[in-house]
Amino acid sequence: DSGVTQTPKHLITATGQRVTLRCSPRSGDLSVYWYQQSLDQGLQFLIQYYNGEERAKGNILERFSAQQFPDLHSELNLSSLELGDSALYFCASSVGGQGTNEQYFGPGTRLTVT
Amino acid sequence: AQSVTQLGSHVSVSEGALVLLRCNYSSSVPPYLFWYVQYPNQGLQLLLKYTSAATLVKGINGFEAEFKKSETSFHLTKPSAHMSDAAEYFCAVSGRGSNYKLTFGKGTLLTVNP
């Protein structure tokens, strides 16, 4: 158990809908990262927050947004969903925003868009 | 830009045999390198990391990796494979700027035969 929690574990929804994925980092970790894992794209970095502020953006679509709240939990919002958005979404956390800080991954949320 | 190439999408070994999973990186600055393992239907677990201290890094579950700058490699090894090592392994690189995202390789699926 990494100490990072993600809810829900599974999500099935229809095209065009909007969903919210939730992540609680390990106690004491200030950085949260979101990654998408799919068969064709592999593991792709989406976005990073550090202590409530956006730190870096990766291959995140404009239909997707995220935020980190004062209690440090984070939410990833996916809207106007398409079939291609079906993937495993991971949240990771680290103590700080340094490259040496290992990232601890949650169990993921499996999103299926039908 | 940083990148990681994992040679071999699938490696099969016999129980008790040497495990060797190959990873080559590309980075314009000294990198931080990581190996993660993913068991079926689970998140990623950190095996080990290289952060420019010792070039031979020991991790959990008997795994180790050697950083070779001249070969831009960070191969993962284990002297004797166990059935429980069967999983997917990912090599990842992180930078030193303000963006500390992990860039992952495509992964290597390790099969251990009895």
Which of A43, A55, A95, A110 is the best substitution to test chain B (most B C-beta atoms within 10 A)? A43
* Highest mean pLDDT, choosing among A7-11, A51-55, B54-58: A7-11
The whole-angstrom distance between B34's CA and the closest CA on chain A is 8
Percent of chain B at pLDDT above 70? 96
**For residue A82, what is the DSSP state?**
-
CB contact under 8 A, A102 and B102: no
The whole-angstrom distance between B45's CA and the closest CA on chain A is 7
Band of the pLDDT at B98, cuts 50, 70, 90?
low
How far is residue A32's CA from residue A23's CA, in Å, rounded to a whole number? 8
pLDDT at site B45: 95
pLDDT at site B104: 94
Band of the pLDDT at B97, cuts 50, 70, 90?
low
Which of B2, B44, B50, B106 is the best substitution to test chain A (most A C-beta atoms within 10 A)? B44
Residue that is written with structure tokens 């990186």 in the block: B25
Least confident of A25-29, B25-29, B83-87, B89-93: B25-29
CB contact under 8 A, A102 and B49: yes
Q: Which residues in A have their CB inside 8 Å of a CB on B?
A: 2, 4, 31, 33, 35, 42-43, 45, 48, 55-56, 58, 90, 92, 94, 97-108
Nearest Cβ partner of A56 from B90, B99, B107? B99
**Please, are residues A72 and A91 in contact by the beta-carbon 8 Å criterion?**
no
Helix, coil or strand: residue A18:
coil
pLDDT at site A85: 96
Q: A59 pLDDT exceeds 90?
A: no
Q: Quick one: CA torsion of A79, A39, A32, A91, rounded to 10 degrees? A: 90
Q: Which residue has the higher pLDDT, B95 or A78?
A: A78
pLDDT at site A96: 76
Mean per-residue pLDDT of chain B: 92
| Residue range B43-79, pLDDT digits in tens | 999 999 998 778 899 999 999 999 999 999 999 999 9
